[in-house]
Amino acid sequence: MSTPSDRSQEPLMTVRAAVILMLATQIAVAVGVLTVMAGNAWAVAVLAAGGSFAGTVAFARSVIG
C-alpha cells in the first residue's frame, strides 16, 4: 500500500516559471503604458500588452533553460 505524499512542502511553481511570468508581466505593463502614452485608447493598450505578454512567454521559454 502506498503512502500519500505530503505536497504541502512542494513549491507552487518552479523558479524558472516565476522568472518567465515576472519578466512577461513587466514587459506587458511597459508596453501597455507606452501605448497609452502614445495616444491610443485603453483597449488598444490592453491588446498590445496581451500580445507582448504571450510573445515574451514564448520567447523566454525557449531562451531560459
- Report the SS3 class of residue 7: helix
Q: What is the pTM of this model?
A: 0.82
Pick out the chain residues at pLDDT < 50: none
DSSP string spanning 28-51?
HHHHHHHHHHTT--HHHHHHHHHH
Contact 31, 48 (CB under 8 A): yes
- Average pLDDT of the chain to the nearest whole number: 93
Q: What local confidence, expressed as pLDDT, does residue 1 receive?
A: 58
Q: What local confidence, expressed as pLDDT, does residue 5 receive?
A: 72
Amino acid at 5: S
Q: Residue ranges per domain, the chain?
A: 13-63
Q: What local confidence, expressed as pLDDT, does residue 16 receive?
A: 96
Q: What local confidence, expressed as pLDDT, does residue 19 receive?
A: 97
